[in-house]
């Protein structure tokens, strides 16, 4: 039971004894005492005035006097305009600290027995991963770790968009302009090479559209009549018809991309429990569409395209099969969702996808519901904001994206330069320095992205992410390394004497330690790593203030020194656990 719940229960029992009132849980408003007042928790007594028939101040005094008698953990109470401030005994806080240190699972909840499937990454095989993908991957990985800490069985999955018109665009461009180029002959990663041809396609397409418009054709018609566009559409039709030559080229270029993706995932320390491929699920989706047609849920237009009319539900008409019989994203997502439920019988399916797809997932969930899949109620779209740069938005077709591999390399190099300049690597072996620099660089990247609420669009500036004094991973990692250095210098075992006096700084640090489990719960409920990130920063900041005001190893009183060592140990443990939930390692030296 949390400390706040202990206090709440005591208040509810006290109100029952004083005024004979049952079921006052909703009226019992307990909050942490503001720092300018003396106390740990504050009760708002105004809701109880109607029972006491007394003023708020008198009611607070009456409740406070009886609460002290009921709960021996209370040291004192004071009243400020009808608010009852409750101060707990130092022995209570030290008991809590001692219990948390002994509990290796502190911050982790018992198993719930429920299964959650989490989809993230979902790249296209026509371009390398970029900064937007990095936010997606980091968010997905971290949410999975937080949900595991909340007691869920989490299956991390990736759906690779390895088919469709966009894939054919890279393939057509390679056929036209590639001259047999391969990753080996060019020295490029496979995903980068294929991405280059996606950009080449777009340049050629725009040039052809411009030429058609200049010859008198309307813009909209030119966009659908450009020769290279029609070649891409014909290639998609051939692919779905299993044309051997088309399939062979598709397999070859996809293999180049997968090898490149694997390298990038490894750099980010990202992995999946299962990978799905749209090339395998589009047929399942097509089958579902045929079944929906037979049931009258979908309808076929004169041009043979298949649609669903959702206007009665406040939405729009949605295409499910093109007139030439080829599928769209929605078709594939229907097939994938059904396959996943049949395989895993999940209690919840979470899609980590940017907010530009909000409408898509609203439609997906509704179509599945109309098809009779009751588990569609358990689908949730974790919609996150886009990542923008100081220069503006990124555009894959124009090649103006921040490449994931380049960014990772830049972050590690920047971490090395800053660390060397500050002397952080001076006493390390070359291997230690290399590992530490990687931790700092990747930590800076991950923390800078994850500390922002997922729903918000964020501005990424690499220069701000590595700062040993700000709200950054570097500051938190340095705090962890500092604590580890202190603990290494202590030669004796640490025991907590609960009769030791506590300073306000020490009490505040224990109170912050106390809320780690509830922070994990809140992060899981909100699917927000930002809550963990900012909590850890607050903890590290509070520890550094404590360290400044309260000597640890130099403290002469052994009991006080042991309490401060115990505090240091527990803060380091929480930093390590919390940072791992963000996918960030905490170095022992720095």
Q: What is the pLDDT of residue 58?
A: 94
Asked whether residue 507 carries a pLDDT value surpassing 70, the answer given is yes
Q: In whole numbers, what is the pLDDT of the chain averaged over residues?
A: 93
How far is Cα 163 from Cα 277, in angstroms, rounded to an integer?
A: 9
Least confident of 266-280, 355-369, 467-481: 467-481
Q: Quick one: pLDDT band at residue 537, thresholds 50, 70, 90?
A: very high
Q: Answer for the pair 134, 121: CB distance below 8 angstroms, yes or no.
A: no
- Find tokens 């849920």 and name the residue: 297
Average pLDDT rounded to a whole number, residues 461-488: 86
- Spatial contact of 76 and 87, defined as CB atoms under 8 Å apart: yes
Q: What's the mean pLDDT in 423-442?
A: 88
Is residue 389 within 8 A of residue 402, CB to CB? The reply is yes
Question: What counts of helices (H) and strands (E) characterise the chain?
Answer: 22, 14
Residue range 20-42: mean pLDDT, rounded: 92
> Region 415-425: what's the mean pLDDT?
84
Residue 453: predicted pLDDT: 95
Domains in the chain: boundaries: 3-88, 120-388, 405-581
Q: What is the DSSP string of 148-164?
A: HHTT-EEEEEEEEB--S
For residue 472, the number of C-alpha atoms closer than 13 Å in the C-beta half-sphere is 21
Instruction: Specify the pLDDT at position 211.
Output: 96
High-pLDDT (> 90) share of the chain, %:
82
Q: Quick one: which H or E segment has residue 190?
A: helix 190-214
Is the CB of residue 311 less than 8 Å from the CB of residue 317? yes
With 50 as the cut, is the pLDDT of residue 399 above it?
no
From first CA to last CA, the distance across the chain in angstroms is 37
DSSP code string of 292-341: HHHTTSSEE-TTS-EEEE-GGGTS-EEEEE-TTS-B-HHHHHHHHHHHHH
Do residues 141 and 156 touch, judged by C-beta distance below 8 A? Answer: yes
Number of residues in the chain: 590
At 395 the pLDDT is 46
Buried b (16+ CB within 10 A) or exposed e, 423-455: ebbeebeeeebeebbbbbbbbbbbbbbbbbebe
- Name which of 474, 464, 457, 459 is nearest 537 in CA terms: 474
Asked whether the predicted pLDDT for residue 535 surpasses 90, the reply is yes
Q: Which residue has the higher pLDDT, 68 or 462?
A: 68
Q: For residue range 166-189, what is the model confidence (pLDDT) as tens digits?
A: 899 999 999 999 999 999 999 999
Q: Where are the alpha helices (DSSP H) in 466-515?
A: 473-489, 504-514
User: What pLDDT digit, counting tens, does each position of 241-297 carry?
Assistant: 999 999 999 999 999 999 999 999 999 999 999 999 988 888 899 999 999 999 999
Helix (H) or strand (E) holding 380: strand 379-384
Average pLDDT over residues 338-349: 96
pLDDT of residue 423: 84
Mean pLDDT, residues 542-565 taken together: 95
Using pLDDT thresholds of 50, 70 and 90, give the confidence band for residue 400: low
pLDDT of 464 > 90? The answer is no
**Cα atoms in the Cβ-side hemisphere of radius 13 Å centred on 192:** 13
What residues form DSSP beta bridges with 274? 157
β-pair partners for 30: 43
Q: Which long-range contacts (CB under 8 A, 24 or more apart) does 411-414 make?
A: 411/441, 411/442, 411/444, 411/445, 411/462, 411/465, 411/466, 412/437, 412/438, 412/441, 412/442, 413/441, 414/441, 414/444, 414/462, 414/466
Q: Which of 89-103, 348-362, 397-411 is predicted least confidently?
A: 397-411
15 pLDDT tier (thresholds 50, 70, 90): very high
Assess contact for 265 and 191: CB atoms under 8 A.
no
Tell me which DSSP letter residue 528 carries: -
pTM: 0.90
Query: If you average pLDDT over residues 445-467, what whole number do you get?
Result: 85
Give CA–CA dist 481/273, Å, rounded. 32
What is the torsional sign of CA 217, 220, 223, 224? Answer: negative
Task: Give Cα separations from 376 to 153, 319, 361, 365, 370 (angstroms).
Answer: 19, 20, 11, 6, 9
Single out the residue of 468, 459, 464 nearest to residue 425, CA to CA.
468
Bridge partners, residue 118, by sequence: 156, 350
pLDDT score for 421: 84
| CA 487 and chain centroid, separation | 32
At residue 23, does pLDDT exceed 70? yes
Distance CA 478, CA 544 (A): 10
CA distance 96 to 92: 6
- What is the pLDDT, as a whole number, of residue 394? 41
Answer whether CATH 3.20.130.10 is correct for domain 405-581. no
Query: How does pLDDT run across 65-74, given as a tens digit for each residue?
Result: 999 999 999 9
Start-end of H helices in 354-403: 358-370
Q: Which residue has the higher pLDDT, 133 or 326?
A: 133
User: Residues 6 or more apart from 565 whose CB is under 8 A from it?
Assistant: 486, 487, 490, 494, 552
Give the CATH number of domain 3-88; options: 3.20.10.10, 3.30.1360.70, 3.40.190.10, 3.90.1150.10: 3.30.1360.70
Q: Pairing between strand 41-44 and 317-321?
A: unpaired
∠ CA 233-321-228, rounded to 5°: 10
Please give the helix or strand (H or E) that residue 74 lies within, else none.
strand 74-80
Percentage of the chain beyond pLDDT 70 is 97
Could you say which of 3.40.50.920, 3.30.1330.40, 3.40.50.40, 3.40.50.620 is the CATH number of the domain covering 120-388? 3.40.50.620
Q: Are 582 and 447 in contact (CB under 8 A)?
A: yes
| Cα–Cα dist 313/427, whole Å | 66
Q: What is the pLDDT of residue 558?
A: 93
pLDDT for the residue numbered 2: 87
How would you list the strands of the sheet with 29-32, edge to edge? 29-32, 41-44, 83-88, 74-80
**CA–CA separation, 472 and 476 (whole Å):** 7
CB neighbours of 219 closer than 8 A, spacing ≥ 6? 209, 213
Compute the average pLDDT of residues 401-423.
Answer: 86
Model confidence band, residue 398 (pLDDT cutoffs 50, 70, 90): very low
**Residue 574: pLDDT band with limits 50, 70, 90:** very high
What pLDDT band is residue 468 in, cutting at 50, 70 and 90? low
């Amino acid at each position: 039971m949390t400390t706040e719940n202990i206090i709440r229960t005591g208040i509810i029992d006290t109100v029952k004894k004083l005024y004979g009132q049952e079921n006052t849980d909703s009226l019992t408003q307990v909050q942490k005492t503001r720092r300018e007042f003396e106390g740990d928790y504050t009760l708002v007594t105004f809701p109880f005035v109607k029972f006491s028939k007394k003023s708020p101040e008198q009611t607070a005094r009456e409740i406070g006097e009886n609460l002290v008698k009921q709960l021996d953990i209370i040291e004192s109470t004071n009243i400020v305009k009808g608010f009852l401030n409750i101060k707990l005994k130092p022995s209570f806080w030290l008991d809590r600290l001692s219990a948390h240190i002994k509990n290796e699972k502190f911050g982790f909840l018992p198993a719930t027995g429920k299964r959650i499937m989490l989809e993230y990454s979902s790249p296209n095989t026509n371009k390398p991963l970029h900064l937007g993908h990095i936010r997606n991957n980091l968010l997905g990985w971290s949410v999975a770790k937080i949900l595991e800490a909340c007691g869920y069985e989490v299956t991390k999955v990736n759906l690779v968009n390895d088919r469709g018109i966009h894939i054919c665009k890279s393939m057509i461009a390679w056929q036209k302009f590639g001259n047999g180029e391969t990753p080996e002959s060019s020295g490029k990663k496979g995903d980068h090479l294929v991405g280059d041809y996606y950009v080449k396609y777009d340049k050629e397409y725009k040039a052809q559209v411009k030429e058609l418009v200049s010859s008198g054709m309307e813009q909209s018609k030119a966009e659908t009549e450009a020769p290279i566009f029609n070649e891409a559409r014909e290639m998609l039709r051939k692919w779905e018809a299993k044309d051997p030559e088309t399939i062979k080229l598709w397999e070859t270029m996809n293999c180049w991309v997968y090898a490149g993706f694997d390298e990038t995932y490894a750099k980010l320390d990202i992995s999946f429990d299962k990978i799905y491929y749209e090339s395998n699920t589009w047929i399942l989706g097509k089958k579902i569409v045929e079944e929906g047609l037979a049931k009258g849920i979908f309808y076929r237009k004169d041009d043979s395209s298949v649609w669903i009319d959702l206007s009665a539900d406040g939405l729009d008409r949605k295409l499910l099969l093109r007139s030439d019989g080829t599928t769209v994203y929605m078709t594939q997502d229907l097939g994938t969702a059904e396959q996943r439920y049949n395989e895993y019988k999940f209690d919840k399916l979470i899609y980590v996808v940017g907010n530009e797809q909000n409408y898509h997932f609203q439609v997906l969930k509704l179509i599945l519901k109309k098809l009779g899949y009751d588990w569609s109620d358990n689908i949730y779209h974790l919609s996150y904001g886009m990542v923008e740069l100081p220069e503006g938005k990124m555009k894959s077709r124009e090649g103006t994206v921040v490449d994931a591999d380049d960014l990772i390399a830049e972050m590690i190099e920047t971490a090395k330069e800053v660390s060397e300049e500050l002397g952080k690597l001076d006493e390390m072996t070359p291997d230690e320095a290399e590992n530490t620099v990687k931790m700092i660089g990747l930590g800076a990247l991950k923390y800078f992205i994850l500390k922002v609420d997922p729903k918000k669009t964020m501005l990424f500036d690499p220069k701000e992410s590595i700062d040993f004094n700000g709200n950054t991973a570097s500051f938190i990692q340095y705090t962890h390394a500092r604590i580890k250095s202190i603990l290494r210098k202590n030669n004796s075992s640490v025991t907590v004497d609960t009769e030791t006096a506590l300073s306000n700084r020490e009490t505040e640090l224990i109170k912050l330690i106390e809320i780690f489990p509830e922070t994990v719960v809140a992060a899981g409920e909100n699917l927000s790593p930002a809550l963990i990130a900012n909590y850890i920063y607050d903890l590290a900041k509070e520890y550094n203030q404590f360290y400044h005001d309260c000597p640890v190893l130099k403290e002469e009183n052994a009991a006080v020194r042991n309490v401060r060592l115990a505090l240091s140990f527990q803060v380091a443990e929480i930093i390590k656990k919390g940072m791992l939930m963000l996918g960030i390692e905490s170095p022992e030296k720095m």
